[in-house]
């Protein structure tokens, strides 16, 4: 989905007509993909598994978690699935090399955002 990056992909489904308006269903499918060359992929059976969990709106240990809107608010609207979906009861730790790559990518994005902000502020006379 996101070629040539170690950043996790996020899919956000917005459904104004959902039945449980005070709940949010989060998935962490990081254990469901298969390594491929050149891209990793989700096998069909795992896509079906995710679909079944979504359509039944249920929790599956290590894959999904249903939270109340209040919990998201309490967590400053942080909807990172890894915050709520436990992977084998332990916290996932990135390898150092991967963490460094993510940090560099974040620094590049921040620098680009700073350039855009400075340009806007300059146009506004600041």
> Each residue of 83-121: pLDDT tens digit?
888 766 555 566 787 788 889 989 999 999 999 999 999
Task: Find the distance separating the first CA and the last CA of the chain, reported in whole Å.
Answer: 40
Per-position DSSP letters for 16-38, written without gaps between them: TT-S-TTEEEEE--TTT-B--SS
Q: Is the pTM of this model over 0.95?
A: no
Answer positive or negative: Cα dihedral of 93, 30, 23, 69: positive
- Contact (CB, 8 A) for 23 and 29: no
Burial of 85 (0-12, 13-18, 19+ CB in 10 A): buried
**What digits encode the pLDDT tens for the residues 16-72?**
888 888 999 999 888 888 887 777 788 999 999 999 999 999 999 989 999 999 999
Statement to judge: residues 4 and 37 lie in one domain: yes
Statement to judge: residues 10 and 67 lie in one domain: yes
pLDDT at 14 over 90: no
Helix (H) or strand (E) holding 66, with range, is: strand 64-68
Statement to judge: residues 85 and 98 lie in one domain: no
Contacts of 65 (CB under 8 A, 6+ apart): 25, 26, 59, 81, 84, 85
* Residue 14 lies in domain: 1-90
Number of folded domains that form the chain: 2
Statement to judge: residues 83 and 100 lie in one domain: no
Q: What is the DSSP letter of 68?
A: E
């Amino acid at each position: 989905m996101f070629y040539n990056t170690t950043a996790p992909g996020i899919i956000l489904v917005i459904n104004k007509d959902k039945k449980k308006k005070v709940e949010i269903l989060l998935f962490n499918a990081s254990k469901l993909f298969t390594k491929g060359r050149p891209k990793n992929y989700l096998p069909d059976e795992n896509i079906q598994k995710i679909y079944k969990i979504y359509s039944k709106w249920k929790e599956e240990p290590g894959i999904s978690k249903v939270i109340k809107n209040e919990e998201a608010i309490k967590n400053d609207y942080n909807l990172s699935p890894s915050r709520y979906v436990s992977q084998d009861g332990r916290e996932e730790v990135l390898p150092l090399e991967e963490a460094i790559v993510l940090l560099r990518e974040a620094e590049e994005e921040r620098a680009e955002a700073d350039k855009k902000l400075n340009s806007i502020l300059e146009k506004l006379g600041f």
